[in-house]
Amino acid sequence: MQALHQSFQVPYTYSIFFTKGLFNRKNTTLGDFFRSFGEAGFQRKALVVIDGGFLAHYPQLQPSIVSYFATLENAVKLVPTLLVVPGGEEAKNDPALFDKIVEAIDEYGIDRHSFVIGIGGGAVLDLVGYAAAVSHRGVKHIRIPTTVLSQNDSGVGVKNGINYQGKKNFLGTFSPPVAVFNDLTFLQSLDDRDWRSGIAEAIKVALIKDSAFFEWIETNVEALARRNEEVMAYLIHRCAEMHVEHIRSGDPFEFGSSRPLDFGHWAAHKLEYLTDFQIRHGEAVAIGIALDSVYSAKVGKLSDDELQRILTVIQKLGFDLYHPKLAENDKINLRNGLQEFREHLGGRLTIMLLDKIGKGVEVHEMDADLIAEAVDYLEGHYSSLLMS
C-alpha cells in the first residue's frame, strides 16, 4: 500500500487595535470591526466574560457594554448574561470556571460564527481563549486586555491555557484571537505592582532582540516608574509590535523546542508556584531575567558591565532581584523547575541566554552548580541592598 502525504497552509490574520474609551458609544473601533468582519447573513452573538478583579475598579463597565452593543444589533447581538470570573491565577487553577464558560457557550448557542469576548488580565484571557478554542472545535474569540502584561505580551499572542496537575499551562491550545483591543484607559485601574509587572516582558523582548529598545527603557525608567501614561503607551505598542513580528517570522505553534520569548521564564514559572502565586507573573519574570542574566555572565557570554545595566533597570522599576524560595530546599525545587520546563518543551531543553544586550543565544543544557551560584549572587545583591 502506498502512503498518502498531506500538506496544507492556513493563512491567519488578526489586528491589534490601540484606543481609549473602547465602550464609549462615540468610539466606533469595536463596532467597525464587527460590521466589517466575516460573512453577512448570519445571526452572530457575543458572549462577554469579565475579570472580576478589573470589574471592581470599573463598576460602570457592564452597563457601558450593554449600552454599546445596543447600537450593534444588526452586526452582533449580546447574550443576556455577562459572565464574571475571578481574576489572577485563580482563573486558571479552578476547573469549575472553565466549565462555567463552556456551559454558557452551549446555553446561549455561541456557534462558530459568533464570538466569545474576554475582558481582563492575562490569566482570564488564557482561560477564555482556551474555553473558546475547544468548544465546537473553535469559537472565535476576542481579547480585550486590561493590564500592561496582557496588552504588550500575552494578550497579543496565540496561546491559551489553564493550569493542571500543579503545572502551569499544562492544558492549552494555539488558537489566535480574531482581534485584540488595547484600551489605554483601562490601565488606570492598576496598582503599582501590576503597572510595573508588565514592564518585565518589555525588558525581556528588548534584551533578546533590540538593544535600542533596551536603551530607551533605560532612558525612560524613571518615567515608567512614575506611571507616565504617554511613555507606557509607547512601551506597550513597541513590545506588542515585536511580539507579533516574532510570531509571524518564527514558529508560532512551537513545533520545535525554541522559545526565545520565554527568556527568564523557566525559573519564573517555578517561582510562581513556590510562592503560591503571591508574586505576580511579571515580578517572577523580572527575577527570572535577573537569574538568567547572571548565569549568562558566569558562562562568559554577557559582560559584567551589561549585567549591571540590566540589574539596575530592574531595580529602578521597583522589582526585587531575589526571592528566598529560589534557594529553598538547597535549590532542589528550582532545579526541578528546569526539568519541568524541559518536559513542557517536549523533552529537549532549550533555554535562551544573552550573548549581549539585544542578542539572545540558545543553549540546551544548564550547569546546576552555576545556577546555584547565580542564585547566591542575587541573594548577596539583595542582602546588600537591604543593609544600605
Range of the domain at 167: 15-189
18 touches 185 (CB < 8 A) = no
Are 211 and 325 contained in the same domain?
yes
Largest CA distance in the chain: 76
Domain count across the chain: 2
Nearest to 175 by CA among 217, 222, 141: 141
Q: Please say which residue of 154, 189, 224 terminates a domain.
A: 189
Q: What is the Cα–Cα distance from 294 to 305, expressed in whole angstroms?
A: 11
Amino acid letter, 32: D
Are 332 and 223 contained in the same domain?
yes
> Does 165 fall in a domain?
yes
Q: Please say which residue of 189, 210, 238 terminates a domain.
A: 189
Are 257 and 378 contained in the same domain?
yes
Query: Residue-wise pLDDT tens for the chain (388 aa)?
Result: 889 999 988 888 899 999 999 999 999 999 999 999 877 767 899 999 999 999 999 999 999 999 999 999 888 999 999 999 999 888 999 999 999 999 999 999 999 999 999 999 999 999 999 999 999 999 999 999 999 989 998 888 889 999 988 777 889 999 999 999 999 999 998 999 999 999 999 999 999 999 999 999 999 999 999 999 999 999 999 999 988 888 887 667 666 545 667 898 888 988 998 898 899 889 999 999 999 999 999 999 999 999 999 999 999 999 999 999 888 888 888 888 877 777 766 667 888 999 999 999 998 888 988 998 999 999 987 677 666 6
What pLDDT, on the 0 to 100 scale, is given for residue 350?
Answer: 85
Burial degree of 330 (CB within 10 A; 0-12, 13-18, 19+): exposed
Q: Please say which residue of 170, 189, 208 terminates a domain.
A: 189
Are 141 and 54 contained in the same domain?
yes
Are 212 and 185 contained in the same domain?
no
What pLDDT, on the 0 to 100 scale, is given for residue 262?
Answer: 81
Q: What is the Cα–Cα distance from 125 to 144, expressed in whole angstroms?
A: 8
Are 196 and 185 contained in the same domain?
no
What pLDDT, on the 0 to 100 scale, is given for residue 217?
Answer: 97
> What is the value of pTM for the model shown?
0.88
Q: What is the Cα–Cα distance from 308 to 269, expressed in whole angstroms?
A: 24
Are 207 and 157 contained in the same domain?
no
DSSP 172: E
> Does 8 fall in a domain?
no
Strands 359-363 and 351-356: antiparallel
Element (H, E) at 78: strand 77-78
382 touches 320 (CB < 8 A) = yes
What pLDDT, on the 0 to 100 scale, is given for residue 368?
Answer: 87
Strands 45-51 and 77-78: parallel
> Does 223 fall in a domain?
yes
Are 246 and 378 contained in the same domain?
yes
Are 176 and 301 contained in the same domain?
no
Could you tell me the CATH number of the domain that includes residue 39? Answer: 3.40.50.1970
The alpha helices in the chain, defined as continuous H runs, are 29-36, 52-55, 61-69, 90-93, 95-107, 122-134, 148-152, 192-197, 199-209, 211-219, 221-225, 229-249, 265-274, 281-298, 304-316, 332-344, 368-387
Are 233 and 380 contained in the same domain?
yes
- The CA-to-CA distance between both ends of the chain, in Å, stands at 76
